[in-house]
Amino acid sequence: MKMEGGLVEQRREIVGHVDNRVIRKKKVRRRSSSSTTTTIPLKRKIPVCLALQELYSCCKKVFKGPGFVPPPQDVQSLCTILDRMKPEDLGLSRDLQFFKTESSVKENPRVKCTTIYKCRNFSLVLFFLPASAVIPLHNHPEMTVFSKLLLGTMHIKAYDWADPVAVENGEQPPPLRLAKLKANDVFTAPCNTSVLYPTSGGNIHAFTAITPCAVLDVLGPPYSKEDGRDCTYYKDTLYASSGKF
């Protein structure tokens, strides 16, 4: 699966282990236009409302670039702004046809996204997931990410590594690693903003849309293959107490 718009260049192998699960790396070839995730231009320009302007201004102050993790007071400031945001702040409405088509679920529905703003320090990205659409288990290397579910009902599953591995001299981490479950819940908008950090908070997560959904992601810093922040996809596998899987 390919996420365009500068977010994900390609899908690579899976890693890890979670509570009683193992995460395996899995090589996936880049796909053509049949990809399940694609970028889309908004049919109409997002209005520059006060809420969106406030979010942008706060992000400009909070995010300082690669290697920087916002302090708790700044995380709270961003969460407060995002918690107050409504679909209308981004030109969305429950009355749009996209959010009414729950009955006719297509096979392998596409996830679509559009980048509202992107710079070296952060990006604002809007995701649209039809009912039953999935963003597979993936990571956010060296990133702090805020996710705000604006519309719909979604299942979120998230993990952190149980045994962080120090990778030196450009070496790759082992193909199988233990991980611990951080979230495995269903969320319905409106709900509080979720936050993940470079090494905690559920840095490896997956989204499954139960109904059509719209999600606003704030990523600081954004994905960048050139800077070593490429996206890796994973698969969790049951881990037996005997150590066999």
Burial of 41 (0-12, 13-18, 19+ CB in 10 A): exposed
Q: Determine the Cα angle at 103 with ends 99 and 108, to 5°.
A: 85
Question: Would you write out the chain's pLDDT as a tens digit for each of its 245 residues?
Answer: 333 322 222 333 333 334 445 455 444 444 433 344 455 444 455 455 789 999 999 999 999 999 999 999 999 999 999 999 999 999 998 888 888 765 455 677 899 999 999 999 999 999 999 999 999 999 999 999 999 999 999 999 999 998 877 655 566 777 788 999 999 999 999 999 999 999 999 999 999 999 999 999 999 999 999 999 999 999 988 776 545 54
pLDDT of residue 6: 28
Q: CA–CA separation, 187 vs 8, rounded Å?
A: 25
Please list the residues that pair with 216 across neighbouring strands.
126, 148
- Range list of H helices, the chain: 50-62, 72-84
Structurally, at CATH architecture level, domain 17-238 sits in Sandwich (2.60)
Q: Name residues whose C-beta falls within 8 Å of residue 229's C-beta, 6 or more positions apart in sequence.
A: 66, 141, 142, 143, 221, 222, 223
d(C-alpha 225, C-alpha 37), whole Å: 18
Q: Are 176 and 14 a contacting pair, CB within 8 Å?
A: no
Whole-model pTM: value is: 0.77
Q: Where are the domains of the chain?
A: 17-238
**Whole-angstrom Cα distance, residue 61 to residue 59?**
5
Taking alpha carbons only, the member of 78, 226, 49, 77 closest to residue 148 is: 78
Q: What CA–CA distance (Å, rounded) separates 43 from 46?
A: 9
pLDDT at site 50: 87
